[in-house]
Amino acid sequence: MVKELYRLSDASGKMTMALEKKGSDVTKKALDSKDVFILDTKDSVFVWIGSKTTVNERRNAMTYAHNYLMKTDHALVPICCVSETMKNKWFDTAIAA
C-alpha cells in the first residue's frame, strides 16, 4: 500500500485539500509549519497540525480527514491528531516507513 500526504490550507482565501506527495516522496521535509497535513498510511490516518496554522485550518482539520476517509475503501481506520510541537513515535514511524 502506498502512503499519501495531503495538504490542507486556506492560504488562497479558500480552504483546499490537495495531494502533496505519494509513496517514497512522503518525508518529514514535506511538512510545512503554516499548514495542516493529512498522512494516509492505509491502515491509519494522521492529522499533523503545523505550529503556524490558522485557526480555520486547525478547526477544520479533523472534519477534512474524516470526509476524506469516508470516500476511501478503508473508511474505518483510526485517525490520530498530532501537533508539530508534540513528539509522536507512531507518526514518526509512519512518515519514515
State the residue for C-alpha cell 500500500: 1
In this prediction, residue 97 carries a pLDDT of 81
Residue 18 CA to residue 9 CA, distance in Å, equals 9
In this prediction, residue 87 carries a pLDDT of 87
Q: Are strands 79-83 and 45-49 parallel, antiparallel or unpaired?
A: parallel
For the beta carbon of residue 26, count every other beta carbon within 10 angstroms.
23
Report yes or no: 10 and 54 within 8 Å, Cβ to Cβ: yes
- Measured between alpha carbons, how far is residue 47 from residues 23, 36, 37, 94 in Å? 17, 7, 6, 12
The residue length of the chain stands at 97
Grid coordinates in use for 67?
A: 470526509
Strands (E), the chain: 4-9, 16-22, 36-40, 45-49, 79-83
Please state, rounded to an integer, the average pLDDT across all residues of the chain.
95
pLDDT in tens, 16-50: 999 999 999 999 999 999 999 999 999 999 999 99
